Amino acid sequence: MISLTDFLIVSAVLFCIGLYMIVSKHNAIQILIGIELMLNAAILNLVAFGKYDRFNNGGQMFALFAIVLAAATTAVALAIILNVYKQYKTIDPGKIDKLKD
Amino acid sequence: MNILTLIIFTPLLFGFIITVLPSAWRNSFKYITLLATLLQLGMSIWIYCNFKTGAAFGGINHESQFQFMQKLPWINLDLGAMGKMQIDYFVGIDGISVTLLVMTSFVLVIAALASWEIISNLKGFFVLFLILDMAVTGVFCSLDFFLFYIFYELMLLPLYFLIGMWGGARREYAAIKFFLYTLFGSVFMLLVMIGLYLSVKDPVTGNHTFNMVQMMNPANYQPGSVFSVLSHQTIFGFSARAVGFVVLFIAFAIKVPVVPLHTWLPDAHVEAPTPVSIILAGILLKIGGYGIIRVCISIFPDIASADAYWLGLLGVISILYGAMNALAQHDLKRMIAYSSVSHMGFVLLGIASQTAEGISGAVMQMVSHGFLSTMLFFLAGVIYNRVHDRGITHFRGLASIMPKYTTFVMIAFFASLGLPGFSAFIGEAFSLTGAFKSTTVNCLLPYWMAVCGSVGILLGAAYFLWTLQRMFFGPVNLKGGSVWQTALTDLNLREKITLLPLALMVLALGLMPSLVFAKINDSVLALIQFLQVK
Amino acid sequence: MNLAQMLFYVMSFIALASAVFVAATKNLVRSIFMFFITLFALAGLYVLALADFVAVTQIVIYVGGILVLILFAFMLSGRETLNAMALQQKQFISIGKLPAFLLAALFLIVLLNMIIKVDANNLEWVKKSIESKNDIPVNAAMTEDIGVGLMTRYLLPFEAISILLMLALVGAAHLSRKGRGA
Amino acid sequence: MPLLAFVINFSIPAKWNKVSGWASTIAILISCVLSVFVFAKVWNSNHIVHQQQLWFTIGNTKIYTGILLNNLSVLMLLLVSLIAMPVHIYSTAYMKGDENLSRYFAYLSFFCFSMLALVVVDNLILFYIFWELVGFSSYLLIGFWFTRDKAVQANKKAFIMNRIGDIGLLTAIIILFSQYHTFDITQLFADKGLIAQSVIKNGLWVAPLGSLPSIWQYIACGGIFLAVAAKSAQFPLHTWLPDAMEGPTSVSALIHAATMVAAGVFLLGRVYPLFNGLELTILAIIGCFTAFMAATIALTQNDLKRILAYSTISQLGFMIMAMGIGAYASSLFHLVTHAFFKCLLFLVAGIVIHQMAHIKDDNAMDIDPQNINNMGGLRKKLPFTFIATVIGGLALIGLPLTSGYLSKDSILIQSFEWSEGRNGVFKLIPIFALLTTWLTAFYVTRLIVKVFFGELRMLHGKPDIKLHIKDGGWQYKLPLVLLAIGCLFPLFSVNPLLYEQAWLFKGFAINGGLEREDVYHTLIPAGVNILSIIVIYVAYTIYVKRKTNIFPQEGFLYRLSFKEWYFDKIYNKVIVKPVLTLSTASFWFDREVIDGFISLLVKTGIILSKLSAWVDHHIIDGFLNLLVAIVEAISNFARKFQGGKVQYYLFSMLVIILALFILKIVF
């Protein structure tokens, strides 16, 4: 049987990879991918724990919701990124600093 | 209406008048300023004449012995369990203040006359000038530490703008340097001030007080408070009173300035416009010296005697180091600025000696240097106005072109290098005498300090004479050629009117030092007595 | 070691390796495609966690929806955008990224530390659910349960999320509309 | 009454803004008359005038200002005004045509004022004030022609050297003040004054009011010596005096020959009780050395005024030496006589130079009017000047019938007496002094011969130049006559051969010295004079090269004519050459080593000051700038978090979360 810990470890690694991408990348799309990775890590945790909730099926339900939400955010985020690009000719969030003093 | 209050706030009134006048009348501003300063001078002379002398008017640590006092409750907050907060509007003068007050108002008149050359943004300049005027006068009169501090801080801001907006090429750098230096000092002063406030209680009302005179009395300290004489509190392992003294001393030493806290001075002096240089050199430096006498050693007499050796050492270093640096300068104003460092070293040395001769000499030197540096900077300003250059090596043989100017320069230079008959000699000689005597009287300073100090006089002769030789004597040879030759006209009437009273003052003080000594003597004696009692 | 475990390790290896590749590669297009693989492998892991419906949804929405959306957005947005977006000259670990890397590594350490400390297999409620047969048996068909659950117990979140989805749809459409403003 | 006189004395010369030079001349005349009056009143009357009034109070010390008249000060007073008067008269002619005439007289009057005040003041602070004012006015006068570079350099040098002395004096005064708590000269130096009551005991300098380590007594004496050396141009600090000759010649006559340089000796006279035996011996040695050195240097100089300057130094050395050996009275006596004859010589030199300059201007020649090699034969052109020069020169040599004889021989005699009681090295002092006298004779003769005898050497180069030179008007002649009278014996003593009879001497010699004690008193004058005459003759022959001239001792010389030639050769080889070398060497030493040392000091000072400026700029300022930079870096670092970069926000947020986690785990 696959133990719960194994899932958690995999999801932790995935989470950290996503985190790394978010912090380090200079490309908004890659940052978005990083966010997705982190979401997926979370979903994996939900699913893994959901195994022990047969009657309410909470884990799986929320996994589904999270997937749907991810889809929605991605769509909006992409639209924003495209707009930003039109405006600033870059998608490096570090360079969009018009509000800076 | 108290005369001191009047003298402090007259400039503010005139400043207000200038503020409300339309800019179209800008040509009248300088006359208004001049009028204000003259009025002030008149009042200070009145004070001087009516100032009573005698052992009963020593001042220093007896509140009743101050003259022209005014004491009004100013901020009185009832803090409930914390007691009452008591800040007074408390002004008054003793012998040491009165001479400096007269000197200050005199110098301010000169500075106002020197402001003729300012051409841009007259309104701002004169308003700031008058605010500054008020602040410096206030510093010399206030006896409440809080009031003192307010005036002290109030000087900085106008000065910062005056240097920063009307100054020379590197004015911003100079202004910010000046500002940071002095602010650094005063921030610490604030801490000590609050510490003192919390330690001292007014014996009459039982409140904490900022009254400086009461701070001098050890009996007024609350037992167990930070700065109490008896409780030997410590801060970071040092005695709290020593820390307080050192911090206050640093604050004033920056003003004086004492090596190694002096580097703001050459920059600020060089970059400032002439009237501001005059105020800086003539008055600001004296505030440092005055503060050391009035605040540092009066409130912490025990520490002052313990650390006198170091004060004296700093004084000697300032004398020699300033003179050495002056010798190496190529810029006239910078040379004068370093000579100020050197001359103010005598003040410190005299104060450190804690003898009657030394402190009298120090006060004399302050007064004399007030006049002399005013004169020197005014003279440097004259030449800078003409050709916008101050390089010593860029001029040669000026005596042939500008004989009257040269005469005044020679008077100023020789007076500064301590030629007898001029005031600086009296100041320097008695500072040194005091320093020398201190070994036999109270064993504070070793003999060699006085001897080293006298070497400073020799160096003083060297750099002034060298400058004189290079700039004024010899065949005419100017860097700017014939353009300069036509530009370098001799003194005009206004300049002569300005310089003549200064030269006369310097001479008068040299011939009749009793003008100063008679007024300060009782205070000095009271101070010495107070210091010896501890 | 049985087959399930073997599969688990293979799948998780694929998922992690491809995720690392996603993070490391310079080429944006490649990283997107690798992300594709990661998502597939994750779907496999969901299956192993006895959540077959979630796995299917994952494939349908993520792989079919999100990724395609990204790719479309990426490819539809003109040549220069493409070039600019694809431009990735940074190395995987450069000095500039060192703080990020350190941060991620520390996070990983912290998380692993937590996981080991918690010892998920022996949690109180997990044990209880095993005792009370609340855990999902290997051969259970969960799709039906989920459907019923959505319509009964989770109706409110379900509706809320559908409204949210619609809002997102409208918003995205508005944002990416060409023409005035934008 | 004397007080009133001095008020007038002080005020009148201060009229220095008057344009006319006559105003100051009249002023000095009045002060001259007044001082004669005062002199007559005070001299030897055992009546010491001491009046004072409160000047100012400092602490508990009251400082008085006042005057003190005793024999010493009235003598100096008389001397100064007597010398100043002819010089003033002379100056009106000499400086005629200079555009800054009024400035010149202003300075000159200012000098007279400070000098007169210097000799009468009664406390050390005032003394110091006027001491320095004297130096200052001399500075002004040396640099009178301020467009000349050399003059300006010379006056700077003079002032700075004097300043070194001043500092010595100031230190000494301060030491005395802290020891005795008074500046009053009478209280300090009177017969039963404070100095007399203090002794050095067990390494302590015990005085009635306290004690200091004895080292400070030495330092005080050292300081006073430094002051004396600077003012009176003694050995280590003498180099300014020759350079000071850049000033107008009349100024040199007044200041650098007669009065100011004598101030040093005067100071010694005032503070004489302070010195103890050892210090006096040192004084004597230095004085003797200076005298000898300066005399040897004077032998080879070609510049007229420099010769006189070195001879002044040499004579001052004599005075200091006399002070050192205890011949207090002789020293002051010599001071007075020297003032007269040296002033006379300078004025003569002024005339000669003036005339030479005339020749130069008339003929547009490129020569140095002060170089004696260009002169010669002026005896016929300037007969009056010649006579005056001879009188002055003889007085300087110290031949009988002149005043110089009286004073110089008294010094020599006393020096021999002094060395009698001692042994070894001390014997050298009178011998060197004797030698110096002969050297003096030599160079004076050389000077006179070169200037006045023979023919005008300029003519060799250009035979056709015009010569319109003459003695000059009465403004020139009157001072010369006055001073020449002062050089002769009757003014000082009835008996031209015995110094003991001089009334001046009696005024000072309180203890002994009046009896003709031993053989020295007859032997020395005779020996010295005979040898001097021989030296004069030798010198004369060297420079005139046996041109037949009327000379008083011709008969005596004629008998030795054969030997004379022989002498000449030996003299040249054995004495002149080594002496020349020696003098060149000592001149070199003077130039290179002493001047070099001083310029090295100056250089070191400049380097030091540059260094400190550098330190100031880089290290202290640098430290400040470093502080600023650190603050700036910190604030920039902080600013980055608000830089509008989303990822930084995120990053820092995550870092903080991580930190919380870690904290949670660890604790």
Q: Which residue of D has its CA nearest to A27?
A: D647
The C residues from 91 to 120 touching A (CB cutoff 8 Å) are 96-97, 99-101, 103-105, 107-108, 111-112, 115-116, 119-120
Q: What percent of chain D has pLDDT over 90?
A: 0
In Å, what is the CA distance from B370 to each residue of B148, B323, C67? 21, 18, 82
- Probe site for chain D from C90, C102, C103, C118 (most D CB atoms < 10 A): C103
Contacts by C87-92, CB closer than 8 A, 24 or more apart: C88/A26, C88/A27, C88/A30, C88/C25, C88/C26, C88/C27, C88/C28, C89/C26, C90/A26, C90/C26, C91/C26, C92/C23, C92/C24
Give the per-residue pLDDT at D3.
44
Cβ contacts of B433 within 8 Å, gap of 6 or more? B357, B358, B361, B450, D174, D177, D178
Q: Which residue of D has its CA nearest to C103?
A: D655
Distance of alpha carbon D210 from alpha carbon A84, whole angstroms:
92
Distance of alpha carbon A69 from alpha carbon A66, whole angstroms:
5
Give the per-residue pLDDT at B318.
83
Q: Flag the least confident range among A80-84, B15-19, D20-24.
A: D20-24
β-sheet bridge partners, residue C136: none
Q: Which whole number is the average pLDDT over D585-614?
A: 67
User: Given C103, C110, C114, which is nearest D651 (Cβ)?
Assistant: C103
* Subunits adjacent to chain B (3 or more Cβ pairs under 8 Å): D
Distance of alpha carbon D573 from alpha carbon D564, whole angstroms:
14
- Rounded to 5°, the CA angle B456-B462-B465 comes to 135
**Residue D322 binned pLDDT confidence (cut-offs 50, 70, 90):** confident
Give the per-residue pLDDT at B406.
83
Cβ contact D658–C100 (<8 Å): no
Q: Is pLDDT above 50 for B299?
A: yes
Cβ contact B458–D171 (<8 Å): no
**Among residues D539, D491, D633, D642, which one has the least CA distance to residue D79?**
D491
CB B442 within 8 A of CB B452: no
* Subunits adjacent to chain C (3 or more Cβ pairs under 8 Å): A, D
Task: Give the pairing type, strands B238-239 and D49-58.
Answer: unpaired
User: Given D643, D650, D651, which is nearest A97 (Cβ)?
Assistant: D643
Say whether residue D660 is in contact with chain C using an 8 A CB cutoff: no
Cβ contact B451–D171 (<8 Å): yes
Q: Which whole number is the average pLDDT over D303-307?
A: 74
What pLDDT digit, counting tens, does each position of C74-127 carry? 776 656 655 655 555 555 445 567 777 888 888 888 888 888 887 777 777 777
Q: Which whole number is the average pLDDT over D256-278?
A: 73
Cβ contact A23–D647 (<8 Å): yes
Say whether residue D60 is in contact with chain B using an 8 A CB cutoff: yes
Q: Residue B230: what are its φ and ψ, rounded to 5°? A: -85, -30
**Residue B455 binned pLDDT confidence (cut-offs 50, 70, 90):** confident
Say whether residue A69 is in contact with chain C using an 8 A CB cutoff: yes
Distance of alpha carbon D498 from alpha carbon D507, whole angstroms:
16
- Probe site for chain D from C101, C102, C106 (most D CB atoms < 10 A): C106
Give the per-residue pLDDT at D558.
39
Q: Return mean pLDDT, chain A.
A: 82
Say whether residue D58 is in contact with chain C using an 8 A CB cutoff: no
Q: Is pLDDT above 60 for D519?
A: no
* Interface pTM, i.e. ipTM: 0.57
Q: Flag the least confident range among B147-151, B174-178, D93-97, D567-571.
A: D567-571
What pLDDT digit, counting tens, does each position of D482-509 carry? 666 666 655 555 555 555 555 555 555 4
Distance of alpha carbon D323 from alpha carbon D301, whole angstroms:
28
Q: Flag the least confident range among B196-205, D386-395, D406-415, D590-599.
A: D590-599
Distance of alpha carbon D343 from alpha carbon D404, whole angstroms:
13
β-sheet bridge partners, residue B93: B67
Give the per-residue pLDDT at D375.
66
User: Given A12, A18, A57, which is nearest C142 (Cβ)?
Assistant: A57
β-sheet bridge partners, residue D61: D58
Rounded to a whole number of angstroms, the distance from the CA of A47 to the nearest CA of chain C is 7
Rounded to a whole number of angstroms, the distance from the CA of A100 to the nearest CA of chain D is 5
What pLDDT digit, counting tens, does each position of D624-654 carry? 888 888 888 888 777 666 655 677 777 778 8
Rounded to a whole number of angstroms, the distance from the CA of A33 to the nearest CA of chain D is 15
DSSP C141: -
Q: Which whole number is the average pLDDT over D325-331?
A: 73
Distance of alpha carbon D481 from alpha carbon B5, whole angstroms:
72
**Residue A59 binned pLDDT confidence (cut-offs 50, 70, 90):** confident
**Among residues A96, C95, C112, C70, which one has the least CA distance to residue D649?**
A96
Q: Return mean pLDDT, chain B.
A: 79
**Among residues D396, D228, D634, D620, which one has the least CA distance to residue B259?**
D620
Q: Return mean pLDDT, chain C.
A: 79
Over B441-453, what HEC string results?
HCCCCCHHHHHHH
Architecture per CATH, A4-89: Orthogonal Bundle (1.10)
**Residue D188 binned pLDDT confidence (cut-offs 50, 70, 90):** low
Interface B-D: count of C-beta contacts within 8 A: 139
More confident residue, B247 or D304: B247
Cβ contact A93–D647 (<8 Å): yes
Say whether residue B257 is in contact with chain D using an 8 A CB cutoff: no
DSSP B239: E
Amino acid at B319: I
**Residue B354 binned pLDDT confidence (cut-offs 50, 70, 90):** confident
Give the per-residue pLDDT at D285.
79
User: Given C100, C107, C114, which is nearest D658 (Cβ)?
Assistant: C107
- Probe site for chain C from A1, A35, A45, A51 (most C CB atoms < 10 A): A51
What pLDDT digit, counting tens, does each position of C118-161 carry? 777 777 777 787 787 777 777 777 788 888 888 888 888 888 98
Give the per-residue pLDDT at C181.
47
Q: Which whole number is the average pLDDT over B364-373?
A: 87
Cβ contact D646–A93 (<8 Å): yes
Q: Is pLDDT above 80 for D568?
A: no
**Among residues B303, B277, B461, B291, which one has the least CA distance to residue B385?**
B277
Cβ contact C135–A59 (<8 Å): no
Give the per-residue pLDDT at D365.
60
**Residue B220 binned pLDDT confidence (cut-offs 50, 70, 90):** confident
Q: Which whole number is the average pLDDT over D158-186?
A: 75
CB D330 within 8 A of CB D410: yes
Cβ contacts of B423 within 8 Å, gap of 6 or more? B364, B367, B368, B371, B372, B415, B505, B506, B507, B509, B510, B513
Distance of alpha carbon D614 from alpha carbon D606, whole angstroms:
12
Q: Which whole number is the average pLDDT over B472-483?
A: 74
**Among residues B380, B515, B502, B510, which one has the least CA distance to residue B110?**
B502
Q: Which residue of C has its CA nearest to D666?
A: C110
Distance of alpha carbon D455 from alpha carbon D478, whole angstroms:
27
The B residues from 402 to 441 touching D (CB cutoff 8 Å) are 414, 419-421, 425, 429-430, 432-433, 436-437, 439-440
Cβ contact A22–D647 (<8 Å): yes
What pLDDT digit, counting tens, does each position of D57-68 carry? 665 666 666 666
- Probe site for chain B from D178, D218, D237, D631 (most B CB atoms < 10 A): D178
Give the per-residue pLDDT at D551.
39
Give chain A positions within 8 Å (CB) of D648.
94
Give the per-residue pLDDT at B507.
81
More confident residue, D512 or B334: B334
More confident residue, A14 or D406: A14
User: Given C99, C100, C110, which is nearest D662 (Cβ)?
Assistant: C110
Give chain A positions within 8 Å (CB) of D658.
none
User: Given A23, A67, A73, which is nearest C103 (Cβ)?
Assistant: A23
Q: Which two tokens stand for residue D200?
A: 């050095």
Touch between B and A (at least 3 CB pairs under 8 Å): no
Which single residue is written with the structure tokens 């570090």? A94
Q: What percent of chain D has pLDDT over 70?
A: 48
Q: What percent of chain B has pLDDT over 90?
A: 0
What pLDDT digit, counting tens, does each position of B24-79 carry? 777 788 888 888 888 888 888 888 888 777 666 666 666 667 777 777 777 776 66
**Residue B385 binned pLDDT confidence (cut-offs 50, 70, 90):** confident
Q: Is pLDDT above 70 for B179?
A: yes
* Subunits adjacent to chain A (3 or more Cβ pairs under 8 Å): C, D
β-sheet bridge partners, residue D184: D123
Q: Is pLDDT above 50 for B351?
A: yes
CB B346 within 8 A of CB B427: yes
Rounded to a whole number of angstroms, the distance from the CA of D658 to the nearest CA of chain C is 6
β-sheet bridge partners, residue B201: B208
Cβ contact D175–B436 (<8 Å): yes
Distance of alpha carbon B488 from alpha carbon B318, whole angstroms:
35
Q: Is pLDDT above 50 for D562?
A: no
Q: Residue D456: what are its φ and ψ, rounded to 5°? A: -65, 115
Give chain D positions within 8 Å (CB) of A31.
647
Q: Could you state, in order of their start, the residue ranges of all structural domains in chain A?
A: 4-89
Amino acid at D508: F
Cβ contact C81–A50 (<8 Å): no
Give the per-residue pLDDT at D516.
46
**Whether the model pTM is above 0.90:** no
Give the per-residue pLDDT at D97.
61
Q: Which whole number is the average pLDDT over D314-323?
A: 80
Q: What percent of chain B has pLDDT over 70?
A: 90
Q: Which residue of A has its CA nearest to D648?
A: A23
Q: Is pLDDT above 80 for A15?
A: yes
Give chain B positions within 8 Å (CB) of D599.
none
Touch between B and C (at least 3 CB pairs under 8 Å): no
